[in-house]
Structure formats: structure tokens, C-alpha cells
Amino acid sequence: MDPVIAFIIAKYNYWMYIILMMIGLCGMIIKKNLIKKIIGMNIFQTAIILFYISIAAKKNATIPIIAHAHGDGHAAVNAAGIINPLPHVLMLTAIVVAVATLGVALALAIKIYRQYHTLEEDEIISQIRE
């Protein structure tokens, strides 16, 4: 196999998150519609959430639930056989943050629509200039 393709495939999770992040960033910068910008913002945040989730994965590992952990569960935990639960926990918080951001952004979009009767940024700016 071509070494370049091998390099891309070996690190495909990073490529995916960077592509998603750039899609989100483009949405925020290029699109003129405020709702599309908000969608771009959400894709951007989701890309970073997926990045965290992907670094938790391990080959041939199982979910981080230990049966019969109470009592004598401490002794024999094979860390290599269990995926890392910490990034998942962190991302639960990040998802809450992303949802809250989305909520505030949409609420403001409603307010903007009531004020200017449009969600196209250039139309709003031309209204402000008048």
C-alpha cells in the first residue's frame, strides 16, 4: 500500500474529526443564514466530542463495566482489556454544554427574527445601516 494512504488509514479518527471540524468552521464563516451558522457551530462542537470518544477506544477491549466490583472486584482489573471511560464522562459534560449553547443561540435567533423579520445576515446588516 502507498505509505501516504497507510498513514491516513492508520490515523483515520483524527482525519475524520478534522474534516468535521472544518465543515463546521466553514459553515460558521461562509454561510449567511444564521440558522446554518448555528448548525455549523454544532457540527464543530460535535467534532471535538467525537475526537475525545475516539481516543478512548482500544483494540479488543470491552465496555468499562466490571461485574461484581463490590467487595473483591478491586484485585483483577486488566486495564488493557477495558476502554477508557474518562473521555466519555468528560464528553457527557461537553454535550450538556453544547446543548445549552445551542439553546441560547436558537433563543437569540428567534429574538433576531422578531426584530428584523429575516435571518439572512446581509439583509440584517443592510437594515442596520439604513
Partner 1 sequence: MNSHFPALIIVVPLLSAFVIVMAGWLNKKYCFPLAAAALGSSLVSAVAMLSRVMDSGPFTYHLGGWAPPWGIEYRVDHLNALVLVVVAAVAFINLIATRAIVRADFPEKTGSFYGLYSLFATGLLGVVVTGDAFNLFVLLEITALTGYALIGIGKQHAPLASLNYIFMGTIGASFYLLGVGYLYLATGTLNMADLALHLSKISGSTVVLAAFLICLTGLYMKMALFPLHAWLPNAYACAPSAAAGIIAPLTTKVMVYVLIRITLFVFTPAFTYAHLPLNQAMIWLASLAIVMGSILALSQKSLKKILVYIIVAEVGYMVGGLWIGNRISISGSILHIVNDAAMTLCVFLAAAGLQFKLKGDSFIALRGSFRKMPYTMAALVVGGLSIIGVPPTCGFFSKWYLISGALTAGTYQFVVALLLNSLVNVVLFFRIFEIGYFEPFPGQDSHRGQKAQAINEAPLSMVAMLLLVSAGLIALGLFSSDMVTRIILPSIPAGIL
Which parts of this chain interact with partner 1 (CB under 8 A)? 25, 28, 34, 37, 41, 44-45, 48, 51-52, 55, 87, 90, 93-94, 97, 100-101, 104-105, 107-109, 111-112, 115-116, 124, 128
CB of 28 to partner 1, least distance (A): 5
Q: Which of 88, 95, 7 has its CA nearest to residue 53?
A: 88
Nearer Cβ to partner 1, position 2 or 41?
41
User: Hey, what's the torsion of the CAs at 96, 98, 100, 105, to 10 degrees?
Assistant: -170
CB of 41 to partner 1, least distance (A): 5
